[in-house]
Amino acid sequence: MKSSDLARLNLPSDPQISPDGTRVAFVVTRPDLDDDRYYRTIWVWDGESARAFTHGPADVNPRWSPDGRSLAFLRGGETTELRPQVAVMPAGGGEARILTDIPLGCEELEWSPDGTGIAAVGLTYTDEWADLDDAERGRRPRRVTDVPFRFDNLGWTHDRKRHVWLVDPEGGADPRCLTEGRYDERFIAWRPDGMAVAFASDRSPRKAFEDGMDLFEVDIEKGEQRRIIERGSWAFPSFRPDGILHAIGDPVPGSWPSLTSVWRIGEEPVDLTGHLDRNVFSMTLGVAPRGPQWHGQTFFSVLEDSGRVGVIRVHEDGAVDHLVDGDRVVKGLTVDASGSRLAMIISSPTDPGEVYLWEDGEERCLTDLNAAFRAGVPMCEPEHFQVVSGGIEVDAWALVPPGEDRLPVLLNIHGGPASQYGWGFFDEFQIFAGAGYAVIACNPRGSTGRGLEHVRGVVGDGWGVVDVEDVTNTIEEALRRYPRLDPERIGVMGGSYGGFLTAWLIARDHRYRSAVVERALLSFTSFAGTSDIGSTFPKIYAGVDLVDDPNVLWEKSPLGTAHLIQTPTLILHSENDFRCPIEQAEQLFMILKRQEVEAEFLRFPGEGHELSRSGKPKHRQERFDAILDWHARQLTTNG
pLDDT of 341 > 90? The answer is: yes
Residue 400 pLDDT = 98
Residue 209 pLDDT = 87
- Condensed to tens digits (0 to 9), the pLDDT of residues 540-598 reads 999 999 999 999 999 999 999 999 999 999 999 999 999 999 999 999 999 999 999 99
pLDDT average, residue stretch 303-329:
95
Contact 73, 63 (CB under 8 A): yes
Residue 637 pLDDT = 58
Q: Minimal CA–CA distance to 607: which of 575, 563, 629?
A: 575
Residues whose CB is less than 8 angstroms from the CB of residue 613 and which lie 6 or more positions away in sequence, other chains included: none
pLDDT of 201 > 60? The answer is: yes
What is the value of pTM for the model shown?
0.96
CA dihedral over 572, 575, 580, 586, signed as positive or negative: positive
Residue 639: pLDDT band (50, 70, 90) is: very low
pLDDT of 638 > 60? The answer is: no
CA 253 to chain centroid, in Å, comes to 21
pLDDT average, residue stretch 266-280:
93
Q: Minimal CA–CA distance to 636: which of 199, 78, 628?
A: 628
pLDDT average, residue stretch 138-145:
94
Residue 285: pLDDT band (50, 70, 90) is: low
pLDDT of 399 > 60? The answer is: yes
Catalytic-residue membership of 414: no
3-class SS string, 366-420:
CCCCCHHHHHHCCCCCCEEEEEEECCEEEEEEEECCCCCCCEEEEEEECCCCCCC
Residue 205: pLDDT band (50, 70, 90) is: confident
Q: Minimal CA–CA distance to 328: which of 343, 300, 312, 350?
A: 350
- Condensed to tens digits (0 to 9), the pLDDT of residues 142-187 reads 999 988 899 998 889 999 999 999 999 999 999 999 999 999 999 9
Domain spans of the chain?
A: 380-522+557-634
Average pLDDT for the chain: 95
- Condensed to tens digits (0 to 9), the pLDDT of residues 42-73 reads 999 999 999 999 999 999 999 999 999 999 99
- Condensed to tens digits (0 to 9), the pLDDT of residues 413-428 reads 999 999 999 999 999 9
pLDDT of 86 > 90? The answer is: yes
Residue 194 pLDDT = 97
Contact 603, 611 (CB under 8 A): no
Domain 380-522+557-634 has CATH 3.40.50.1820: yes
* Highest mean pLDDT (candidates 72-86, 206-220, 491-505): 491-505
- C-alpha to C-alpha distance for 353 and 297, rounded to whole angstroms: 30
- Condensed to tens digits (0 to 9), the pLDDT of residues 426-469 reads 999 999 999 999 999 999 999 999 999 999 999 999 999 999 99
Residue 83 pLDDT = 95
Which residues share a beta bridge with 569? Answer: 515, 599
Residue 578 pLDDT = 97
- Strands, DSSP E only, in 147-194? 150-151, 155-156, 160-167, 176-177, 186-190
Catalytic residue among 246, 454, 609, 631: 609
Residue 147 pLDDT = 87
Catalytic-residue membership of 389: no
Exposure b/e, 403-428, CB count within 10 A at least 16 = b: eeeebbbbbbbbbbbbbbbbbbbbbb
Catalytic residue among 201, 301, 348, 496: 496
User: Do β-strands 308-314 and 298-305 pair in parallel, antiparallel, or remain unpaired?
Assistant: antiparallel
Residue 283: pLDDT band (50, 70, 90) is: low
Provide φ and ψ at 554, rounded to 5°.
-65, -35
